[in-house]
Amino acid sequence: MENQRNTKQKKFILSILKEADRPISANEIYAKIITDLPKIAKSTIYRNLDALLKQDIIDKYNFNDNETFYLIKPDNDEHRHFIICDDCKKVFDLPSCPLHEIESSIEEEGFIIKEHQIQINGTCKDCAQSLKKQG
């Protein structure tokens, strides 16, 4: 019984991650899952996310505050970068990775790069406009 329940929880978490087109936080997952599984604990969500990370099914992203965001790994090798709005916490895509050229020049020097991260945060267009309105 216990295992069946665990599988169901994991399936739900995975389907929420698959539907998301941007990284989402454990809190967002919790808010979505609670309508279907009202008894689920946040710790269960974290435990499942950890397991998915270990299985290499999802990636995690850390932005400037200590909240961690999760995204399903793409089928191809293309990695993505994101920008987060400090005000509404919405996550936006960086159109392309600007680091390829820099990486190749570093690798020409013999350095082996394993991964890189880009962190950009600020205020999105919508929030910037409403800030202006408030004066």
Residues at the contact surface with Zn ion, assessed by CB under 5 A: 85, 87-88, 97, 99, 124, 127
Cβ at position 81, least distance to Zn ion in Å: 5
Burial of 41 (0-12, 13-18, 19+ CB in 10 A): exposed
CB-based contact 71:77 (threshold 8 Å): no
Closer to Zn ion at the Cβ: 14 or 87? 87
Q: Specify the amino acid at residue 94.
A: L
Q: What is the DSSP string of 55-93?
A: TTSEEEEE-SSS-EEEEEPPSSS----EEEETTT--EEE
Cβ at position 6, least distance to Zn ion in Å: 35
Closer to Zn ion at the Cβ: 34 or 88? 88
Closer to Zn ion at the Cβ: 83 or 127? 127
CB-based contact 72:17 (threshold 8 Å): yes
Closer to Zn ion at the Cβ: 12 or 70? 70
CA distance 98 to 95: 9
Cβ at position 104, least distance to Zn ion in Å: 12
Cβ at position 114, least distance to Zn ion in Å: 12
